[in-house]
Amino acid sequence: MNYSGDDGEKIGGGLHVFSLDEIKEVQEIDYLSEHGIPIATLLNDCYQIIDTK
């Protein structure tokens, strides 16, 4: 979800929950797949990951 400021400019990146195809694509990033299954991103820099251990 993106929020708009008073001038209509989008601020923040919000939370993006991955589709199954996106999960497969993002799992190819080595440092993420070591920790579990990435399911979402917040502000395009922080990943939510399901720990598989």
Predicted confidence (pLDDT) at residue 6 exceeds the cutoff of 80: no
HSE-up (13 A, CA, CB side) for residue 42: 4
30 in helix, strand or coil?
Answer: helix
In this prediction the pTM is 0.62
CA 38 – CA 21 distance, rounded (Å): 12
- Tell which phi-psi region holds residue 5, choosing left (phi > 0), alpha (psi between -120 and 50) or beta: beta
| Confidence bin at 19 (pLDDT 50/70/90) | very high
Mean pLDDT, range 1-19, rounded to an integer: 68
Predicted confidence (pLDDT) at residue 7 exceeds the cutoff of 70: no
Amino acid, single-letter form, for residue 38: P
Query: What pLDDT does residue 53 have?
Result: 82
Helix (H) or strand (E) holding 24: helix 20-26
Predicted confidence (pLDDT) at residue 18 exceeds the cutoff of 70: yes
